[in-house]
Amino acid sequence: MSQLTINNVRIVGMSACVPATVEDNLTLPIYKDENDARKVIASTGIERHHKVDENTTASDLTVAAFERLLQDLGWDSQEVDCFAYVCTSRDYIAPQTACVLQDRLNLRNDCCVFDLPFGCSGWVYGMSIVSSLMSHGTFKRAILVAAETNTRNRNPRDTAVRPLFGDAATVTALEFSTENSRPMNFMFGVDGKGYDAVWAPYGGIRNPVTPEALEEKEVSPGVFRRGIDMIVNGMDVFGFAIKQPPHSLKELIGTFNIDVETVDLLLLHQANKFIDEKIRKAVGIPAEKTPYCLEEYGNVTSASIPLTMVTRCGEKLSGNELHCIACGFGVGLAWASMEFYAGGVKISDLVTY
């Protein structure tokens, strides 16, 4: 098993930004009537999501969330030693968005910056990578972004995805500290056989963009896509999501001897309520310890765990230290679980773009 323990790093602040425009599932034009829409809302738990306009990218939302958090923390952007950008909806094919953001955010020229093109598992993977780099002791302050504009890389006429996904950017500030830091523990997992359960087949080197890849086709009744759009094969993702995350969390609990009774927060990737409740029950964590934000923001892929923390756990996380376990899972298929402690975290008010 690939497991990892990291010492001397703690979360000191978090912020999030969502676009101002809200799309309500009840009134989406893709349903024949409100009754149809209500069924989907009842089974997914997702009532609405925030949506960027056609001129806004994930990095734009990131800038707003970053500036807010640094102001609230009293950090200077020149003090940031490492900056990681978890996102699949990158600004350009090249260069990495993190390079462009170095200048926009006024980070130092010797700052260690990079993109991490993860989907729903991205915040947990990002935490492991950035914290691991910091644990050497020379990076004192680091920023982990998890941001996505899901409404822009999926087709609005794809009824299978439009009600489920939203846009958001989140910023997590980390500090190296040999005092008051408890270890973070991680478990990882991947199943490349499921690479086409969630994927965008065209636009890479294997299948370059061709005029045909830009043509919109009705692939099944009411589902329209172009070759460059993200495909979500709901049934396969569902089968994966009700099985692998509970297994991963149980592996984490077993490997690191976690007493489930002492867990204060179970932080799940916000896939949909049906899936997440199955995971919660399988792991045996009470409902009141499992916050959700999907009803309001939908599935915001890599941003969903930190967005839940910012919008639903602000007061708790700013208080006494909490024992948390988290699991991110999705495109890859990839998943990762972590155990960490968080307390006295500066949580910024939600920023609207």
Partner 1 sequence: MDIQEFIENFAAQFDETDEALFTADTNFKQLDEWSSLTALSIIAMVDDEYNVIIKGSDIINSETISDLYDVVEKKRS
Chosen residue from 228, 274, 314, 318 binding partner 1 by CB under 8 A: 274
Rounded Cα–Cα distance for residues 86 and 120 (Å): 10
CB-CB neighbours of 32 under 10 Å: 8
- Does 40 interact with partner 1 (rule: CB under 8 A)? yes
Site string for partner 1, 41-80 (x = CB under 8 A): --x-------------------------------------
The smaller minimum CB distance to partner 1, of residues 231 and 309, is found at 231
- Does 235 interact with partner 1 (rule: CB under 8 A)? yes
- Does 236 interact with partner 1 (rule: CB under 8 A)? yes
Q: Which two tokens stand for residue 191?
A: 């199943």
- Does 233 interact with partner 1 (rule: CB under 8 A)? yes
The smaller minimum CB distance to partner 1, of residues 275 and 317, is found at 275
Rounded Cα–Cα distance for residues 90 and 147 (Å): 10
Binding region for partner 1 (CB under 8 A) out of 49-57, 229-237, 262-270, 285-293: 229-237
What Å distances lie between residue 269 and 205, 303, 307, 328, CA to CA?
30, 8, 10, 5
Chosen residue from 210, 243, 287, 352 binding partner 1 by CB under 8 A: 243
The smaller minimum CB distance to partner 1, of residues 140 and 278, is found at 278
Q: Which two tokens stand for residue 346?
A: 């500066």
First to last CA, the chain: 42
Rounded Cα–Cα distance for residues 244 and 283 (Å): 12
Chosen residue from 202, 238, 256, 341 binding partner 1 by CB under 8 A: 238
The smaller minimum CB distance to partner 1, of residues 39 and 217, is found at 39
Instruction: State the DSSP string of 180-239.
Output: S-PPEEEEEEE-GGGTTTEE--SSSSSS---GGGGS-EEEETTEEE-TTSPEE-HHHHHH
The smaller minimum CB distance to partner 1, of residues 11 and 241, is found at 241
Question: Is the omega angle on the peptide bond into residue 333 within 30 degrees of 0, that is, cis?
Answer: yes
The smaller minimum CB distance to partner 1, of residues 335 and 340, is found at 335
Binding positions for partner 1, rule: CB under 8 A: 39-40, 43, 160, 233-236, 238-240, 242-243, 274, 278
